[in-house]
């Protein structure tokens, strides 16, 4: 695989991570408001935030971030393979 393809995939993956972060914040914030009726904790690390809220926020954020990353990366890899005929650098079919 060429160095140019490695750089191109890194740019795509970085862009996907940025989009994923934005999507995660929106999805988790909305889900929190629906579930609790209140705003999500701004700083879950703050001792004034209850442990229950802090842990729930961390688990929800982690789960959604992982799922969003998976969806975005798989879609990007599918598009990459359609365009190049091969999987992106670092992904092997297994």
Average pLDDT over residues 41-50: 94
Is it the case that residue 92 has pLDDT exceeding 90? no
The three state secondary structure string of 13-80 is: HHHHHHHHHHHHHHHHHHHHHHHHCCCCCCCCCCCCCCHHHHHHHHHHHHHHHHHHHHHHHHHHHHHH
Range of the domain at 57: 49-78
Taking the model in full, what pTM does it have? Answer: 0.78
Q: What are phi and psi for residue 73, nearest 5 degrees?
A: -70, -40
Is 56 inside a domain boundary? yes
Is 74 inside a domain boundary? yes
Is 60 inside a domain boundary? yes
Give which of 65, 54, 59, 60 is closest to 34, Cα–Cα. 60
Is 27 inside a domain boundary? no
What pLDDT is stored for residue 93 in this prediction? 65
Cα 46 to Cα 32: distance, rounded to the nearest angstrom: 18
- Domain total in the chain: 1
């Amino acid at each position: 695989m060429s160095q140019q393809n490695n750089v191109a995939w890194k740019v795509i993956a970085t862009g996907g991570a940025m989009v994923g972060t934005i999507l995660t914040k929106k999805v988790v914030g909305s889900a929190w408001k629906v579930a609790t009726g209140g705003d999500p904790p701004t700083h879950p690390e703050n001792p004034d935030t209850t442990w229950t809220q802090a842990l729930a926020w961390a688990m929800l954020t982690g789960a959604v971030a992982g799922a969003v990353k998976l969806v975005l990366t798989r879609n990007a890899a599918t598009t990459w393979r359609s365009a190049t005929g091969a999987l992106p650098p670092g992904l092997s079919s297994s």
